[in-house]
Each structure stands twice: as C-alpha cells, then as structure tokens.
Amino acid sequence: METLAARTNAWACYDCGKCTATCPIARSGSSYSPRRQVLATNLGQEGELVSGDGLFTCLTCGLCDQRCPAQVDYTTLVQQLRELAHGADREPECPHGGALQSVMRMMAKGGTKQDRLGWLDSDLHTRPAEGEVFYWTGCAPYYDAFFSELQIQALAGVRAAVKVFNALGVEPVVSSEERCCGHDLLWNGDRTSFEALAERNVALVKASGAKTLVTSCAECARTWRLDYEPYLRGVNLQVLHLSEYLAEHLAELPLKGGATRRITFQDPCRLGRHLGLYDPPRQVLGALPGIELSEMRHSRAGATCCAGSTWSSCDRFAKKIQVDRLREARATGAEVLVTACPKCQIHFRCAMKDPNIGGDLAMEMKDIAEVVAESLK
C-alpha cells in the first residue's frame, strides 16, 4: 500500500479536493469522492478501499488527473486498487450481466476459432496474415452483435476505415485471430487474463511482420501503446490511432467537395486525456471539405466522457453524465456527433433511447472513419 501511494504520487495530495470537485460522478450527485480514496490510500486502509462501494464507480476518465495540482496519478491508483480487489475475489457489478467480461475471458483462454470477419465485404481489400500495416478492429463485431437494440454501428466505422486505407493504396492486415486487447479486464483488475490476451495479440502482430498497428478504437490504442509495452519485448511496432494515421497521410487522401455539414467531436477519454491526442482528429476533420466543426462547451482536456469506459459500472449518475453531454452536443447546433471510440457510441446511443427525454437528445452519431470515408472521391 505504501509503495502504491508512492508510485501514484498519492503522498503528494494536499487535500484540496479539486479531484472531487471535478469528478463527473461526484458532480452528478453521487457520494463517491476521489479525494477520500486518495486519503484512504495514504492512511493504508486497504480493506476499506477494496471492499468499499466506490472502487468500481470511478470512470477512470482521467479528468481529476488533469486538474490535480499535486500530480496524483489517480487513474493508475484506481487500476491498481482494482487489481488488489480482484485478488481478494471482488468483482465489479458487471453491467450487461457480465456477458462482455465472459467473452473477454473466453478469448483469453483461447481454443476456439472465432468467426469475426463476417463484415468484410468483397470490395474491401485486406490481407489475412502478413503486411506492413496491421488494422486492429477491436471488439466491433461483438459490440454490433450484443448491442443490436441500440442500432450501434461499430462495424460501419471499421468498414469505413478499411475503405480509407484502400483509398490510400494500403491493404491492411485484418486477422480473424485477433482477440480483445484486454483493456476492460485490466481496468477491472484481472491482470492474469489481460496478460494472456497481451501475449497472444503481440505474437499475432509480430508474426504478421507489420511495422505499424492502426486501430480506430481509442481504448485499443491506449492499451497497445501504454499497457502492452512490457509484452512487446523489443518488437519494433508503431501504434497509431486511426486519426493519427490519417493526419499523417492527409495530403494523399483523395477528397471530394461536399455540402456543408456541421459536426461536433466527442473526445474519448482514452484518446484525449490518456494519450494526449486532441489535435489529430481535429486536423483530419478540419481537412474534409464541407465539414464544419463546432466544439462543445467541454472539449479537449476538459471533455466529459461517455461514463462507461470499462464495463465496471452503470447507474443513474452515469446516465446523468450522458444526458448532460448530449445536451451540450445538441447545443452546438451540429447535425452529427463524431467520436473516435465505439464505446462512446454505445453509451450515448443508449442514453438517446430514454423514453421520456430521448427525443431531446437524439442525434446522428458517426465514427471519424465514416465521416472521412463519406468525403472520399
């Protein structure tokens, strides 16, 4: 516990309470308090932290990290505490009946041949095993199958991404052997399963000979770039989010002019605060003819997250965060809410389904890849 406090700089906390003041969960009326968690860490109250209600409430969105004047690494602290909790047989409540956690753990166990490339249309050109660029699709096929009632279209974003690659003259590797990156298991505290997934995925990408891995999921990007580091063991791999890759290749994109469309951009917490990538998606969107970006009141480092990044909690406070965020998006006058992470789509589309206020919140949602693909010649 002491090393944990030292490693995450919790010792430096001077109890100012900015974290709790900025925490979207606390601001929504929950009794959850990041400050109290840090204090309990410094007092060595491991038992209370591990068994308390607050542990899985945190969204790990990183907003408190951003505001903390003492540079306490709060998200890492929560992640490590959850590992302790997992060791003590404590699991999150698992929204969606734990189905997604089960799917991830089954992928970690392996032994089956996944049937995950059903979305690959004949006009999309990809390579099955070897190539320069590996396109990491993430759990998109699973999300579309599981969240069918939300009309989530994670695969539309994936198809669009491959289309954009093809327009750049790149045939990316898309593998049926790809497994979940393990992001959610890691943030639920299950490092054993995460390690199993990391080892398998790194071996797969290594065998493909790819020099660059591109993903359109903000969580996969974070996991590959930061959390897979110890497992890459010298494999020379550049990990890019699709928006970064496109920002690098903007000049080569064959774009056509189009009618003016006003859009707004939701910064995914993993892409923004975790990886610091605020500009690449804006550069890409700004370069598209006819696309006008109007920012929400909270954007970039101050953006509110979709309130459900790690499948560890979902409650009325999360709903309030989503509703407030969608109201902000609607207030920009934009027609389309563009994101760069499938989970943002899942959670905002769910909030739009509200039978009472859904009509005030509903707006078109698209992945950044779809917007780019629509502007292609």
Partner 1 sequence: MSARQNTTQKAPTKAGAGKAAGKTAAKRASKAVKKTTARPAAALPDWNPKLVVFACNWCSYAGADTAGVSRIQHEPHFRMIRVMCSGRIQPGFVLRAFERGADGVLVSGCHFGDCHYIFGNERAVEQFDKTMRMVKLLGIEEGRLRLEWISAAEGARFADVINEFTAQLRELGPGPFAHSEEAGGRKVEVA
Nearer to partner 1 by Cβ, of 73 and 177: the residue is 177
Considering the complex, state which of residue 94 and residue 287 has its C-beta at the smaller distance from partner 1: 94
Please say which residue, 162 or 180, places its beta carbon nearer to partner 1. Answer: 180
How far is residue 194's CA from residue 295's CA, in Å, rounded to a whole number?
A: 36
- The angle subtended at Cα 175 by Cα 171 and Cα 178, nearest 5°, is 140
Choice between 186 and 369, CB closer to partner 1: 186
Q: Which one-letter amino acid corresponds to residue 51?
A: S
Provide, rounded to whole angstroms, the least separation between the CB of residue 146 and partner 1: 6
Residues that bind partner 1 (CB under 8 A): 89, 94, 96-99, 102-103, 105-116, 141-142, 145-146, 148, 190, 192-193, 195-196
In the complex, minimum distance from the CB of residue 329 to partner 1, in angstroms, rounded to a whole number = 28
Query: Is the CA virtual torsion 347, 217, 305, 286 positive or negative?
Result: negative
Provide the minimum distance between the beta carbon of 141 and partner 1 in the complex, in angstroms, as a whole number. 6
For partner 1, the closer of residues 111 and 257 by Cβ is 111
Rounded least distance, CB 308 to partner 1, Å: 16
Rounded CA gap, 297 and 327, in Å?
10
Nearer to partner 1, 117 or 232 (CB): 117
Name the residue nearer to partner 1 (CB basis): 89 or 123.
89
Token code pair at residue 345: 């789509």
Q: Of 268 and 308, which has the nearer Cβ to partner 1? A: 308
Q: Which of 326, 332, 330 is nearest to 348 (CA)?
A: 326
56: Cβ contacts below 8 Å, ≥ 6 apart: 82, 92, 93, 188, 312, 313
For the CB of residue 108, give the shortest distance to partner 1 in the complex, in Å.
Answer: 5
How many C-beta atoms surround the C-beta of residue 355 within 10 A?
6
Least Å distance between CB 97 and partner 1?
3
Shortest Å distance, C-beta 122 to partner 1: 20
Residue 149 Cβ vs partner 1, minimum distance, rounded to whole Å: 8
Least Å from the CB of residue 148 to partner 1: 6
Residue 236 · residue 211 · CB < 8 Å: yes
Judge contact between 77 and 41, C-beta under 8 A.
Answer: yes
Choose between 105 and 127: whose C-beta lies nearer to partner 1: 105
38/140 with CB nearer partner 1: 140
Rounded to the nearest whole angstrom, what is the least distance from the CB of residue 125 to partner 1 in the complex? Answer: 23
